[in-house]
Amino acid sequence: MNLRDLTYVVSVADEGHFGRAADRCFVSQPTLSGQIKKLESELGVVLFERGRGPVRVTEAGRAVVEQAREVLAGAERIRDVARAAQDPLGGALSLGLIPTVAPYLIPRFVRSLREGLPRLSVAYREDITERLTDGLLSGELDAAVLATPPEDDALIALPLYSEPFRLVFPQGHELGESDVPHMADVDRDELLLLTEGHCFRDQALAICELGPPRRSSLRATSLETLINLVSQGMGVTLVPALAVPSGAFREIGLQARPLQDRTAARDINLTIRRSYPRRELAERVAEIIRDGLPEGMAVSG
């Protein structure tokens, strides 16, 4: 048994398919299948049900896969320690960002990060909070920009900034009669929000005094979709401040206003594992991100 075999096992469990798992591991399917059969013979248990349809993990296989993940994560931590000792501010960094942050934040820091840390290679991943958190805990990700505090004691958050929300509505809408509207002024039948699974939806609902919108048929997965729907007179929406382009909303007939509600904001953090050995690097990345923010938005680290 070796780390390569454990990587194969975890890949098959994740993909539910030997061919896709082989592609993920950059080997041929016969090679991967053969190694897993050898491992099953060595362990004396069957790890996967093979047949038509998706490959299923057996009961014994689930326990093995869980242990394999822990071993692989431990091996990656050993590599992290070695990399940190060799070059504290160099090497590789896998950085996750949620979809309501990534398109608006990355352009503000990516060049400064490249110039400030020239020996660092960054791999970016955009995904929802739940999957990014899983990636942090498994060791797939080194850090993630999230809008919710860690729920697992194994993770810690480095503060980046506090971001207010903006209420977006068509020009001429009655909401424009107030310079600073309140969420209580919003008709929930008009309110458009992201689909379930996005933390920004949950944060928006938390300040909606009238409860969730009734438009259950809407399945928007991006802020851009919501903004385009509003520009066509389909309703109103909430967006984070960084998603409001200077002057561009007026060109498509929209207005964006701050809200009176004190809770109409979110705290953005750089989340890492508590055991992550490259804390100095994470702190430096957080500093560079804060330096690229609009004046008054960054918070102390």
The confidence score (pLDDT) of residue 91 equals 87
Alpha-carbon distance 183 to 186, whole Å? 5
End-to-end CA distance of the chain: 44
The confidence score (pLDDT) of residue 216 equals 53
The confidence score (pLDDT) of residue 8 equals 95
Q: Are 271 and 143 in contact (CB under 8 A)?
A: yes
Q: Is the pLDDT of residue 213 over 70?
A: no
Q: How many CB atoms lie within 10 A of CB 44?
A: 7
Which residues are CB-neighbours of 229 under 8 A, at least 6 positions away? Answer: 192, 220, 235, 237
Which residues are CB-neighbours of 12 under 8 A, at least 6 positions away? Answer: 18, 21, 32, 36, 48, 55
Which residues are CB-neighbours of 29 under 8 A, at least 6 positions away? Answer: 18, 19, 22
* pLDDT above 70 coverage of the chain, percent: 92
pTM for the whole structure: 0.70
Residue keyed to tokens 């454990």: 6
Q: Look up residue 210 and give its two tokens.
A: 């009238």
* Confidence band for 158, pLDDT divided at 50, 70 and 90: very high
∠ Cα 206 208 210 (to 5°): 130
Instruction: Give whole-number Cα distances, 142 to 65, 70, 131, 271, 279, in Å.
Output: 21, 16, 13, 9, 10
Domains of the chain: 3-82 (1.10.10.10), 91-159+268-291 (3.40.190.10), 162-265 (3.40.190.10)
Q: Are 76 and 139 in contact (CB under 8 A)?
A: yes
The confidence score (pLDDT) of residue 237 equals 87
Residue in 142, 155, 137, 102 with CA at minimum distance from that of residue 289? 102
* Confidence band for 221, pLDDT divided at 50, 70 and 90: confident
Bridge partners (DSSP) of residue 240 are 165
Tell me the per-residue pLDDT of 27-70, one tens digit each, with 9 for 90 and over. 999 999 999 999 999 999 999 998 777 899 999 999 999 999 99
